[in-house]
Every structure is written in structure tokens, then in C-alpha cells.
Structure 1
Amino acid sequence: MVRPISNDLRKRAVAAVVKGESCRSVASRFGVAVSSVVKCSQRYRATGSVAPGKMGGHRKPVLEPHRAFIKERISQTPHLTLHALKDELAARGVKVSHNAVWLFLRREGLRFKKNAARPRANSLRHRA
């Protein structure tokens, strides 16, 4: 991700454009993209400020309303796979990715751990 332009550089670029210099020449003089100068100028004309807008943000988790169902399914079937859980959610009308399910479970502290008491499948190979 590209680093935001400093407010000082924004002010100098907008001041040059206001004086009548073209956006292309201002961009080459300050070593920034032409689109950055254009957007700073537009923001200045619209708001009177060159301060940047909000970057990023917080997205509400898609699976939050289905928390009870997911926890119940995991407690009922602890060996349930992420893909099977995703398919069950799709059957309920919730279209999510495998990664979205995994992130939700991780945030909730729910883990798919193998049973430590059970011997490994390939343990016979190592006994010889």
C-alpha cells in the first residue's frame, strides 16, 4: 500500500495549482502522481482543506448474526471441517468464503485441534 502524501506537500501542490500551474507540471516538480495533484485540488475546491480523507475502515463481520448457529454446530460436531461449515452456511443462505469462516472462528477462539490422545496416522512408520 502506498504511503499517504504529507499535508505540507499537499498544501504546496494545491497552492501551485491555484496560482495557475498545470497539474502535470506540479506533479513532476513535486515527484507525485498527476492523479494525486488532481484529487488534492478537487478536495481543496470542495472542502477548503487539503487534509486526506479516511483510509480503510472497520467492516462488520458477516458471520456475526450466525454466531449461535456456528457455535452450536461446532459443539455438536467437533470434527466439522471449515469447508463443510461453509457449505452449511451456504444452505442457510449465507454466502461466505473459506477464509471468512476461518477468520471468524479464530476471532471467537474456536479451534480445530487434532486429538492429542489419539496416535498419529503414520506412527507405525516411525516405530521400525
Structure 2
Amino acid sequence: MAKSLSVDLRKRVIAAIEAGASCRQAAMRFGVSASSAIRWHRLSKGRGDVTPHMQGGDRRSQRIEGHADAIMGELAKAPDITLADLRGTLAGQGVAVSIAGLWRFFGRRRITLKKRLGMRPNRIAPTS
């Protein structure tokens, strides 16, 4: 993801627009895109500030974290439940969540549910 342009440059573009230049003229003068100048001008009028918002980060985990008690409760009832079964059980309770969302939820808590195949013991080396 590209880095945000500096606040100093944004303020200079806004100052040029407020001094009478059009957004496109100010953008050409400072070497930025016209759409950026227009967006910054709209931000300065609306918020009074042109600082960029934070980029990146997790924006979706808070939805599933709100249902953490229900998820952990279902896991306590059936410790060997699969993610697909857990998703179906939660859907019955009105909680819409994806399997990948559940995977990340358990990953954040370092909960792993390993299923091992039943196999006969090895005579040569121990089976883990």
C-alpha cells in the first residue's frame, strides 16, 4: 500500500486553493493528482483538517470478538467441533461468521485443535 503524502504538502495545496487557484491548478503546481487536491479540499472544508487516516490494520475482528462468549461456550460444549460445524451452530444462534474468521479468532487466542488419525504404534520410532 502506498504511503500517504505529507501533511505539509496537503496544507500547501489547500493554501493555494484558498488563495484563488482551482483544485486542478493547485494539483498541477505541486505535482499531485487532481483527485487528491479535490479530496483534500473537501476534507479541509468538512473536518477542518487534512491529516490522513491510519492505513491498514484489522477492521473486521471486532465483529466476531463481540460473540466471543458464544464461540467459547460452544467450544466448551464440544471440544472436538470442526470449524464448519461451529459456524453452523453459530448461524443457528443468529451469528454470521466465516470459517476463515473463526480460524483467525482461534489463532489470536492461540487455540489449536489438532485432529490426529488413529494409527497403530510404530515399532521403529515413536509416533507423536
Q: TM-score, normalised by structure 2?
A: 0.72
Q: Look up the match of 1:36.
A: 36
**4+ residue segments displaced more than 4 Å:** 53-60
Cα distance between partner residues in 2 of 1:104 and 1:38:
40
Structure 1: runs of 5 or more not aligned: 124-128
Q: Look up the match of 1:102.
A: 103
Structure 1 residue identity aligned to 2:45:
R
Q: Look up the match of 2:81.
A: 80
Q: TM-score, normalised by structure 1?
A: 0.72
Structure 2: runs of 5 or more not aligned: 123-128
Q: Look up the match of 2:50.
A: 50
Q: Could you tell me the percent identity over the aligned residues?
A: 38
Secondary structure at the residue paired with 2:63?
coil
Alignment pair present for 1:115 and 2:122? no
Count residues in correspondence. 120
Provide Cα deviations, 1:41-70, integer angstroms capped at 9, x if missing partner.
223334444333455676562233443442
Cα distance between partner residues in 2 of 1:65 and 1:50:
33
Q: Look up the match of 1:126.
A: none
